[in-house]
Amino acid sequence: MLSSWKVTLLFAAGVGGAAVLCPLCGAGLQTAGAQPAQVGLQAADTATVRLHISKMTCGSCPATARLALKRLPGVYSATVTLDDSLGIVRYDPRQVSPVQIAAHLTRLTGFGATILPDTTRTPGGGQ
């Protein structure tokens, strides 16, 4: 049985497209009808946090984590890879902190999220 947070993520991701469920972890991956996210003007200050994300078990898990991260206000972009269990998140430090980002990911997905020490802040919006 899928937990309610996974159903919510799948519903949010699957509107207008088909979702594929992972038989091992129950996570979903949108396969059709995807629309590119439109990002408005970004703040002058952009920060990047690198997260070690644990408990991802299949190819759908990074997509689930990425969708959850992008739902947090202040997050501009998120990249998550299964091979190295790494998440890279660009965000507005005036709206959200690395601790809030990690807690949000864990709360929505159940994945563990540990902030890696090379988190950076870049004035002027660069990476």
Cβ-contact 50, 87 below 8 angstroms? yes
Cβ-contact 29, 60 below 8 angstroms? yes
Q: What is the pLDDT of residues 47-58, one digit of tens each?
A: 999 999 999 999
pLDDT band at residue 36 using 50, 70 and 90 as cut-offs: very low
Mean pLDDT of the residues in the chain = 76
Kindly report the CATH number assigned to the domain that includes residue 56.
3.30.70.100
Give me the domain span that covers residue 54. 43-123
Q: Is residue 79 part of a domain?
A: yes
User: pTM for this one?
Assistant: 0.65
Q: Is residue 22 part of a domain?
A: no
When divided into structural domains, the chain yields a total of 1
Cα–Cα distance list, 65 to 43, 62, 94, 103, 122 (Å): 24, 5, 22, 12, 24
pLDDT band at residue 22 using 50, 70 and 90 as cut-offs: low
Cβ-contact 89, 52 below 8 angstroms? no
